Amino acid sequence: MKNFLALFFILSGNLYAKSCNDVQVRIIFEGKPAIAKETLCSKKTPDNMLFYVSKSCDENKCEILKRKKSELEIKDYYSNIGSPGFKICNELGGIPQIFEFSQGPNLWQSTERCLFGAKDFVEISLLTREWINFLKKK
């Protein structure tokens, strides 16, 4: 019975750690809010940090999450102008966006993402976490 309970909690934790849901996403595009439906996946790290990624990036399937880490040199990274996460996103070839998502009426949450191509995106805080140790210090 103890083994069964342990297995149940391990499997339950894995289900909680990985889940994808259809949500409404709102971004500002050409000065106006644009709303679209997308599938947003939760990515929980072993140390219990929660990040959001596109369905195409779930389980580290997209190119940016498979990319081998190497040194990044970002001019003015440590300046007070601009978001450090946006700078990392740009350096990696993505387009940074502030976006909101809702899983129900009037339940909007705001975060930042880095968009790669038409469908791949990861939350900027995840990119920062993964790449911060590869910044070349100036």
DSSP annotation of 134 reads: G
Please report how many Cα atoms fall inside a 13 Å half-sphere around the Cα of residue 15, on the Cβ side.
6
Residue 78: which pLDDT band, with cuts at 50, 70 and 90?
A: confident
The percentage of the chain sitting over the pLDDT mark of 90, rounded to a whole number, equals: 59
Q: What is the pLDDT of residue 22?
A: 93
Query: Coil, strand or helix: which one is 65?
Result: helix
